[in-house]
């Protein structure tokens, strides 16, 4: 008799929040990062997805501009299929799964197919969007209740099922309307015909909680016309009530130096968390579009040679943060005790790489005075104190070989140790489309490989369109040279080639404009 029990995964219905990636709950983030696969919608913050491990299975099932990537029935079937394969699934949904979303339908379908699930609530846009605009959903003097209403007609209905006459009778409260952009004329007409005051304050908030959010305020009877004039588009929230008048006293989000600026970051996501946070703290909307990512690569022969090094003088040479991180990980896994690196001197290409070494309590003995990799080789060769020397160059699979060539030509033994490989992530078409719908004010490149990666992922015509109104930002001379070779005009290059210096220059650039 077969006593084996079929292993089934679990599906977590996770609310990702309304746009600001920091608004996902702690539990939601923890479960997302622990799953085998993510199934995500269009309104999920891109940063939450691109920051996941490259090997994690990802399924985009979003809807944009009336286009469904996948029907709801197909999404339901996909969730069951993945769970039956024994995978734990993060079903990542914008805002909250159960407030005017279809999380309830998915939960019922999972239940009927005997698939375990959990529902992790999210911060709903009806609360977050007004709050980020300085509009409190309730106030002791002005609003003692909130009414959430959908302005969207379900696909099978010709008319909304909301009783707008009943809604219009609400006084001393706040009405918050979801998904009502295309119906706002009809909604306001029904409210006014049902007796709601035409002078009641109202607001429309487009892309609430994004630093590029857009808000208009006016009386209720002016709302439809202002929505047309200001070209308010979905996703948008409407707020009706006296609390709207509190905005001038409670605004807080807009007062930041990069507020309203979209900044595209091409750096690998696993290296960019601090950059994302720093840019958001300054008010920027981060467009997390990594053009490269790094994967671990174990060079068995290289490590075998490394363990046999017995020369009098020994150098470790690091030219990137990825090299530092992967080397330390592999070294501690294989050798255990980082103190055994005490026999090595350390050379680092630039302040950024030296800073990452410092995080591991490794101090840099040498940094080149010039930014070119060949100058680095020449300067390092000039300070060697012994002919009995081995230089270990920590590198990726696509690193420039000119460093090794220079030293070999000088008769200096060098051991190339490849600890990571560079790969290009997959950008779904809808992922690219967002860039053209919301084009960046600046595009940041932090290495030559991020430049080349963009040309791997997009056509030259697409890149030209994307960059024509964007400031091109380079972290240093080598990246600038690659950008110029590709036809870019560089607007910003900091004198100190670090992420912090780059961000400081970015702020200065936009403050001047």
**392 shares a domain with 333:** yes
Mean pLDDT of 386-399: 90
**74 shares a domain with 59:** yes
**What is the largest distance, in Å, between two alpha-carbon atoms of the chain?**
93
Percentage helix, strand, coil for the chain under 3-state DSSP, each rounded to 5: 40, 20, 40
Residue pair 215/133 in contact by the 8 Å Cβ criterion: yes
Copy the structure tokens of residue 390: 């081995």
Rounded distance between C-alpha atoms, residue 95 and residue 325, angstroms: 34
* Nearest by Cα to 23 from 139, 120, 89: 120
Percent of the chain exceeding pLDDT 70 equals 96
- CATH number for 49: 3.40.1010.10
* Nearest by Cα to 178 from 94, 100, 243: 100
Whether the per-residue pLDDT at 65 is higher than 70: the answer is no
Mean pLDDT of 306-326: 92
Whether the per-residue pLDDT at 160 is higher than 70: the answer is no
Among the ranges given (4-13, 107-116, 435-444, 458-467), the one the predictor scored with the smallest mean pLDDT: 4-13
- Whether 201 is covered by a domain: the verdict is yes
**474 shares a domain with 435:** yes
- Whether 33 is covered by a domain: the verdict is yes
- Whether 75 is covered by a domain: the verdict is yes
Which residues span the domain enclosing 185?
Answer: 127-250
| Residue 332 CB neighbours (<10 A) | 12
**164 shares a domain with 110:** no
Mean pLDDT of 434-452: 93
What's the structural domain count of the chain?
4
Residues assigned a catalytic role:
41, 63, 179
Give 393's strand partners. 317, 416
Residue pair 251/134 in contact by the 8 Å Cβ criterion: yes
**What band does 244 get if pLDDT is binned at 50, 70 and 90?**
very high
Q: What is the pLDDT of residue 420?
A: 92
Percent of the chain exceeding pLDDT 90 equals 73
Could you tell me the sign of the dihedral formed by the alpha carbons of 157, 159, 165, 169, in that order? positive
- Whether 361 is covered by a domain: the verdict is yes
Residue finishing a domain among 82, 97, 122: 122
**241 shares a domain with 131:** yes
**239 shares a domain with 166:** yes
- Whether 5 is covered by a domain: the verdict is no
Q: For 466, list phi and psi in degrees, rounded to 5.
A: -65, -40
* β-pairing verdict for 174-178 and 146-150: parallel
**What band does 371 get if pLDDT is binned at 50, 70 and 90?**
confident
**238 shares a domain with 211:** yes
- Whether 257 is covered by a domain: the verdict is no
Residue pair 472/446 in contact by the 8 Å Cβ criterion: no
- Whether 318 is covered by a domain: the verdict is yes
Residue finishing a domain among 104, 122, 140: 122
Whether the per-residue pLDDT at 312 is higher than 50: the answer is yes
For 199, left (φ over 0), alpha (ψ -120 to 50), or beta?
A: alpha
Tokens 């036809």 -> residue: 487
**388 shares a domain with 303:** yes
Q: What is the pLDDT of residue 390?
A: 93
**307 shares a domain with 230:** no
Among the ranges given (91-95, 177-181, 197-201, 291-295), the one the predictor scored with the smallest mean pLDDT: 291-295
Half-sphere exposure (Cβ direction) of 451: Cα atoms closer than 13 Å? 23
- Whether 1 is covered by a domain: the verdict is no
Mean pLDDT of 237-255: 95
* β-pairing verdict for 201-206 and 63-64: unpaired
Is this structure's pTM higher than 0.85? no
- CATH number for 451: 3.40.50.10090
**271 shares a domain with 238:** no
Residue finishing a domain among 220, 250, 280: 250
**319 shares a domain with 221:** no
**108 shares a domain with 180:** no
């Amino acid at each position: 008799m077969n006593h084996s029990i079929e292993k089934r995964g679990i599906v977590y219905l996770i609310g990702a929040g309304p746009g600001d990636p920091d608004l996902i709950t702690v539990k939601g983030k923890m479960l997302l990062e622990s799953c085998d696969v993510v199934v995500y919608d269009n309104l999920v913050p891109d940063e939450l997805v691109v920051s996941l491990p490259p090997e994690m299975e990802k399924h985009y099932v979003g809807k944009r501009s009336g286009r469904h990537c996948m029907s709801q029935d197909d999404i339901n079937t996909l969730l069951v299929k993945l769970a039956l394969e024994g995978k734990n699934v993060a079903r990542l949904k914008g805002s909250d799964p159960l407030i005017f979303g279809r999380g309830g339908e998915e939960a019922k379908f999972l239940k009927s197919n005997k698939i375990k699930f959990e529902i992790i609530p999210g911060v709903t846009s009806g609360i977050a969007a007004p709050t980020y605009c300085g509009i409190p959903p309730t106030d002791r003097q002005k609003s003692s209740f909130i009414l959430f209403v959908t302005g969207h007609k379900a696909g099978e209905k010709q008319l909304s099922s909301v009783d707008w006459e009943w809604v219009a009778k609400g006084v001393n409260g706040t009405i918050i309307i979801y998904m009502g952009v295309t119906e706002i004329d009809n909604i306001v007409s029904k409210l006014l015909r049902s007796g709601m005051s035409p002078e009641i304050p109202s607001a429309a908030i487009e892309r609430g909680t994004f630093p590029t959010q857009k808000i208009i305020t006016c009386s209720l009877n002016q709302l439809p016309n202002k929505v047309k004039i200001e070209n308010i588009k979905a996703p948008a929230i409407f707020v009706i009530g006296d609390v709207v008048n509190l905005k001038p006293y409670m605004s807080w989000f807009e007062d930041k130096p990069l507020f309203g600026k979209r900044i595209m970051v091409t750096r690998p996501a696993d290296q960019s968390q601090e950059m994302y946070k720093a840019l958001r703290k300054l008010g920027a909307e981060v467009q997390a579009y990594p053009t490269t990512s790094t994967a671990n690569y174990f060079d068995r022969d290289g490590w075998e040679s490394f363990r046999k090094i017995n020369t009098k003088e020994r150098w470790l040479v690091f030219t990137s943060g990825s090299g530092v991180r992967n080397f330390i990980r592999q070294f501690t896994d294989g050798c255990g005790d980082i103190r055994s690196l005490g026999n090595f001197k350390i050379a680092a290409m630039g302040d950024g790489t030296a800073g990452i070494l410092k995080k591991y309590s490794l101090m840099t003995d040498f940094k080149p005075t010039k930014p070119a990799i060949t100058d680095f080789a020449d300067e390092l060769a000039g300070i060697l104190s012994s002919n009995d020397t081995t230089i270990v160059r920590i590198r990726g699979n696509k690193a420039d070989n000119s460093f090794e060539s220079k030293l070999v030509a000088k008769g200096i033994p060098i051991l190339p140790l490849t600890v990571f490989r560079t790969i290009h992530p997959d950008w779904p078409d809808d992922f690219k489309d967002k860039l053209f719908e919301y084009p960046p004010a600046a595009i940041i490149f932090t290495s030559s490989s991020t430049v080349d990666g963009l040309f791997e992922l997009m056509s030259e015509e697409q890149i030209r369109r994307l960059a024509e109104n964007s400031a091109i930002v380079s972290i240093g001379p080598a990246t600038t040279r690659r950008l110029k070779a590709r036809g870019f005009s560089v607007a910003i290059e900091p004198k100190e080639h670090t992420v912090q210096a780059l961000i400081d220059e970015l702020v200065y650039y936009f403050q001047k404009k």
